[in-house]
Amino acid sequence: MEEQIKIWMERYQKEADQEALAHLQASCWPMVEPLIQELTKKHGAEVEKLLRQKGMERFPFIFSKYQLDVQLPLETFVANTYRFYFMQVLKEQA
């Protein structure tokens, strides 16, 4: 993981630093977009806006839970966590 992302993650988790969160969103949101596109293809174009909105709303919570000392790649954490969350969102919409 990029060292700067680790620094922002620590600042956000320990200090609730909103500037760090904004940097995390700018750097890490692109990891979520392919999943939104995949689920949009599978479930229809109408879910794209919903998933993006719900995903951004949930971003601060999800990134508050990432554990730097576990050594799980951030990309894996983001993909797995958002996949689970988006499946819950889609289930609620059904």
Distant-in-sequence, close-in-space partners of 69: CB < 8 Å, separation ≥ 6: none
In the predicted model, is pLDDT for residue 28 greater than 90? yes
Q: Is-contact 32 78, C-beta < 8 A?
A: yes
The per-residue pLDDT for 7 is 96
CA 59 to chain centre: 5
Bigger pLDDT: 28 or 94?
28
The per-residue pLDDT for 71 is 83
In the predicted model, is pLDDT for residue 70 greater than 90? no
At 6, which amino acid appears?
A: K
Question: Does the model's pTM come out above 0.85?
Answer: yes
Name the pLDDT band for 9 (thresholds 50, 70, 90).
Answer: very high
Enter the tokens of residue 88.
């819950």
Which one-letter DSSP state was computed for residue 45? T
Q: Tell me the mean pLDDT in the region 56-73.
A: 93
